[in-house]
Structure 1
Amino acid sequence: HPIYIMDILSSEMVKYASNNFLATKISFINEMANLCERVGADINEVRRGIGHDRRIGFSFLFPGVGYGGSCFPKDIRAMIAVGAARDFETSILQAVDDVNQRQKSVLFNKISRYFGGELQGKKIAVWGLAFKPQTDDIREASSLELIRRLLDHGARVHAHDPVAMENVKHQFGDSVTFHDHHYDTLDSADALAILTEWNAFRTPDFSYLKHKLAQPVVFDGRNLYDPARLAELGFYYSGIGIGRTSV
């Protein structure tokens, strides 16, 4: 990689602009995913179509439940604040942040609609707590928003993450039941919600899932599974940006 020499302010802007652009790509594909659901399109096909355009590419074009962590949220808001301090409206960056905040509620809204708004006493299994795989970082993780809203509506949350459970325990304590293995969250659960794309979650034994769940219902916040296959297996499957939910 080349090394560029530039003034201090420009070098700082490079870092912020880079993260802001990547966050923009994430919010863009999430906005397109939500629109796909409303028009009956499949965001996976749309992503494949636009990603093969070399001007666009596939990186950071993964629909999901929003970005989190220590960099993207902070850097977007920092640039918004820098603009505001100089009487400059950063409309695109504000929209990126707004879309991301709304996206963190998408999975809860799907779950709530499925159960007709009646979540009291429902057991929801949650796979994935960290904002991304290979870390225990839960800063601004979408899982936190989902868990809070589920608990506020009287649901029972049983959760697993390979490395992030201790951090979530500090926030929710005994109000969430944590399990050492992801399959153990499923006993008589009314639905499974997937928040983080850990490799351990990518190829489950679907027959075992169906046996363990009280209802074969999956809300996939990372589009890990093939909707057609789950439909054949008798699951209700709802991903992100998939216009035709599998039933």
Structure 2
Amino acid sequence: LATRISFMNEVANLAEAIGADIEEVRRGIGSDPRIGYQFLYAGVGFGGSCFPKDVKALQRSAQEAGKPLRLLGAVEEVNEAQKHVLGFKIRDRFDNQLRGKCIAVWGLAFKANTDDMREAPSLALIDDLVAAGASVRAYDPAAGTEARKIFADSRSITIVDDALDALEGADALAIVTEWQEFRSPDFAAIKKALKTPAIFDGRNLYDPAALRAQGLEYYPIGRKQ
């Protein structure tokens, strides 16, 4: 499963570079019943307690047996790099001038329906944003308590209890976790709240044409621009 995720993320980055659409690619690949559609979604990488740990454990066992698994090394390398893709997109949009900017982040847990933030892509994104001089207002339906513990010593990160509250004073919105409540938000309210009407979607939740028709800048993963 980890291999499928990293493969799709690599293909998504290629699709974006050549003007293709990863959703069209996904539908084509998944239509083969030998492959199917599960875990063929591009995004910002996997986290949690299982996939990263299991990949590392199998790699270690292979090394000890003198049979290193180069494929798993690539899976891990791709995944770690993918966690930084959203941060790169944000820096690129603002011409690497993030000092003094505020970025709203929706989703902190490594996946929906959990409060687990172990090795979550949100951690890499927030680190990238803060390192670039930005502040962060973040919301997660379940991981708020855990996030407050993790970021307790940071003055640049504010954890809030409402999705729209995260947008207050924000220059742009980044979506990291595919929570159900993020799938059909009030786009008019988002546009009104943000200083720059830009959404950076790490889970490809929305239709690009529909958002652009509403006057929003939309930056997904591997979708046709």
Give the TM-score category using the shorter length. Answer: over 0.9
User: 2:224 and 2:209 mapped to 1: Cα distance?
Assistant: 13
Which residue matches 1:103? 82
Which residue matches 2:61? 82
User: 1:187 and 1:214 mapped to 2: Cα distance?
Assistant: 9
Are positions 1:219 and 2:200 aligned together? Answer: yes
* Identity over aligned pairs, percent: 54
Q: Deviations over 1:37-90 (max 9, x none)?
A: 111000011101111110110001111000000100000011111111111120
- 1:47-66, aligned counterparts within 5 Å? 47-66=26-45
Match of 2:64, as an amino acid? Answer: A
Match of 1:238, as an amino acid? Answer: Y
Which residue matches 1:13? none
- The alignment partner of 2:114 has SS state of coil
- Please state how far the C-alpha of 1:171 moved relative to its aligned partner: 1.7
Q: Deviations over 1:183-232 (max 9, x none)?
A: 11112311000000000100011111111111100000000011000111
- The alignment partner of 2:104 has SS state of strand
Which residue matches 1:206? 187
TM-score using structure 2 length: 0.97
Larger mean CA deviation between 32-41 and 167-176 belongs to 167-176
Give unpaired runs (5+ residues) of structure 2: none
Whose radius of gyration is greater, 1 or 2?
Answer: 1
Match of 1:62, as an amino acid? Answer: Y
Which residue matches 2:131? 152
Which residue matches 1:67? 46
Contact 1:38 1:243 in 2 (8 A): no
Runs of 4+ in structure 1 off by over 4 angstroms are none
Query: What's the Cα RMSD here?
Result: 0.8
- Please state how far the C-alpha of 1:116 moved relative to its aligned partner: 0.7
TM-score using structure 1 length: 0.89
Q: Deviations over 1:97-151 (max 9, x none)?
A: 0000000000000001111111101010000000000000000000001111111
Determine which of 146, 161, 179 is the counterpart of 2:160: 179
